[in-house]
Amino acid sequence: GAGVSQTPSNKVTEKGKYVELRCDPISGHTALYWYRQSLGQGPEFLIYFQGTGAADDSGLPNDRFFAVRPEGSVSTLKIQRTERGDSAVYLCASSLGRGDTEAFFGQGTRLTVV
Amino acid sequence: AQKITQTQPGMFVQEKEAVTLDCTYDTSDQSYGLFWYKQPSSGEMIFLIYQGSYDEQNATEGRYSLNFQKARKSANLVISASQLGDSAMYFCAMRGRRTGGGADGLTFGKGTHLIIQP
């Protein structure tokens, strides 16, 4: 597709379960970002990939959160032992390169932990 | 610490009027970038406009302009001739070095909910 694609659009999981959220960036975009948006808040930076490597993971809240981008395109955000506080919309964005002024966002995955 | 402040949680504006959405920022960096995004109810963040800290002229993109006042650390968004389709959440954001982190990724404010009335 032409834009950033995120799947699933909605995910409901039980507390303590493991979840994976997928992001398919725009073809050719080397920079990929994950953000988390809680209700009534702006997005909060989680992690940035340049190519296959996580160039900045300083926003990951704890070691239950992990993300990969093994081939430099699709990225997966993984959350272990989910907690109710992890409920939020997880947004992915991509841009042509590092420092590019315009990043394109997907429509997000709404995660609900019950 | 890097911080974005948007003091208007919500605004009601008559169609065709101009709108100013406030944004102030705090950073110790000399080089940074300021962004505005629109988020309609569908949830997708739509890029509107960008201003670099060294840009001498205010950025403009169609009906959007950014009123950049560096000494006051403000980056207000101005929407001219508002339309019903402008109703959405608007977020101001900054790229620069975050406390304890890198300089990639954006720091966002809490947003302003803009409602355009016919």
Contact A13, A20 (CB under 8 A): no
Nearest chain B residue (CA) to A101: B50
Mean pLDDT within A62-70: 97
HSE at residue A90, side-chain half, CA atoms within 13 A, is 32
Contact A78, A65 (CB under 8 A): yes
C-alpha closest to that of A53 among B96, B45, B46, B102? B102
User: So what's the pLDDT on residue A98?
Assistant: 74
User: So what's the pLDDT on residue B2?
Assistant: 85
Q: Does B33 touch chain A (CB under 8 A)?
A: yes
User: So what's the pLDDT on residue B104?
Assistant: 75
User: So what's the pLDDT on residue A27?
Assistant: 94
Please answer yes or no on whether B102 and A48 come within 8 Å at the CB atom: yes
Q: Does B45 touch chain A (CB under 8 A)?
A: yes
Asked if residue A1 has pLDDT above 60, the reply is: no
User: So what's the pLDDT on residue A89?
Assistant: 97
Q: Does B32 touch chain A (CB under 8 A)?
A: no
In which residue ranges of chain B is pLDDT below 50? none
Question: Which residues touch B32 (CB under 8 Å, ≥6 apart)?
Answer: B25, B52, B53, B94, B95, B96
Please answer yes or no on whether B100 and A58 come within 8 Å at the CB atom: yes
